[in-house]
Amino acid sequence: MDLVGGAVSDLTAATLAGTLRAVVREGWGETLPTRFAIIGMGRFGGHELGYGSDADVLFVHEPRDGVDEREAAGAAGKVVAEMRRLLQIPSSDPPLLIDADLRPEGKSGPLVRTLASYEAYYRRWSLVWERHALLRAEHVAGDEDLGRRFIELIDPLRYPADGLDEEAVREIRRLKARMESERLPRGADPKLHAKLGPGGLSDVEWTVQLLQLRHGARQPALRTTRTREALAAARTTGLISEDDASTLDEAWVLATRVRNAVMLVKGRAGDTFPTQPRELGAVGRYLGYGPGHAGDMLDAYRRTARRARGVVEELFYGGA
């Protein structure tokens, strides 16, 4: 298995932790005026980063006793700004881009919030898509106690005690359809798009995450940020058959390998097979196909994705 997600995510978390310690020591010695934690989101929180991925994060802080809240917020903001600057300095390694757009209120919201602010926001304003996104949230760096309390805060949101009502399920389906219609590149062949196409990463991940939202409160094994672990848990708890779980797992692994191959061959992230013959052949070699068998590779991908889409139609769309 040449998937690199877990190793890349662990390395990224270690990089963030090391950079955070260095920034704090340089500016404040051993003790920052506020407790500070980084929450991994998306593929980062799921330990599924690939080559060239950004790191989706949330930043949370909590002023220490006796520290003015404005001073604490200022210190947390300086740490974030300096950490992002250091991680993007040109070096022998690619820059690590930090993306905090999954935070409350998105780009218009504060970059760093206190734990109390997150609690107030999620209690009053959290939307279905935010609960969905929090399925990938995991503490990755900074104050461990603060990170643990953040996770305790969001668990009732991402694993609702009563599951999801039908309106919430319809909203999730609408969100997925809108994302795919807006983000699928014009002119791209959907059947060969490893992320947004039928049977691609989005299909598998949203199907698994819907199971987590519906059943996570009653099935502790589903409470994981990792797609394949959640899929395995859904199989062992009887929420999905052995055959369907195997079909989705195979499609997810293949789509992940395709994206990694495209990044290594082209030197930039991509979600679909190259059209240039030499590059397509190189992707084929990465996936185990010899010279002259690029067509076989594409046919095999289509078959795998088509089988996965059939499972998604039943589990995610309810047989629609």
Percent residues over pLDDT 70 in the chain: 98
32 and 73 Cβ atoms separated by less than 8 Å: no
pLDDT of residue 93: 72
The predicted-structure confidence for 95-135, as pLDDT tens digits, reads as follows 888 999 999 999 999 999 999 999 999 999 989 999 999 99
Domain with CATH 3.30.460.10 in the chain: 5-158
Residue 196's pLDDT is what? Answer: 96
Please compute the mean of the pLDDT values over residues 62-76 and round it to a whole number: 94
For the segment 273-302, the average pLDDT, to the nearest whole number, is: 97
Q: What is the pLDDT of residue 224?
A: 98
**Predicted local distance difference test score (pLDDT) of residue 26:** 80
pLDDT in tens, 10-60: 878 888 888 888 888 887 877 889 999 999 999 999 999 988 788 999 999
Q: How confident is the model at residue 1 (pLDDT cuts 50, 70, 90)?
A: very low
Structural tokens at position 308: 């996965």
Indicate the pLDDT class of residue 197, thresholds 50, 70 and 90.
very high
pLDDT-derived band at 319 (thresholds 50, 70, 90) equals low
Residue 138, pLDDT score: 97
Q: Is the pLDDT of residue 187 over 80?
A: yes
Average pLDDT over every residue of 198-202: 97
Return d(Cα 106, Cα 116) in angstroms, integer: 18
Residue pLDDT, tens place only, 264-285? 999 888 999 999 999 999 999 9
Q: Average pLDDT of the chain? A: 93
**What does the block give as tokens for 109?**
């919201």
User: Which CATH code, of 1.20.120.330, 1.10.1740.10, 1.20.210.10, 2.30.30.100, is assigned to 166-315?
Assistant: 1.20.120.330
pTM: 0.92
Domain with CATH 1.20.120.330 in the chain: 166-315
Are residues 204 and 308 in contact, defined by beta-carbon separation less than 8 angstroms? yes
pLDDT at 6 over 80: no
Question: Are 225 and 155 within 8 A, CB to CB?
Answer: no
Residue 317, pLDDT above cutoff 70: yes
Q: Which of 182, 139, 151 is nearest to 36 (CA)?
A: 139
> In terms of C-beta distances under 8 Å and separation of at least 24 residues, what long-range contacts does 213-218 make, across chains too?
213/131, 213/132, 213/135, 213/158, 213/159, 213/160, 213/163, 213/164, 213/168, 213/172, 214/163, 214/164, 214/169, 215/163, 215/239, 216/158, 216/159, 217/159, 217/160, 217/161, 217/162, 217/163, 218/163
Residues 6+ apart with CB under 8 A from 90: none
Output the CATH code of domain 5-158. 3.30.460.10
User: pLDDT tens digit string along 216-251?
Assistant: 999 999 999 999 999 999 999 999 999 999 999 999
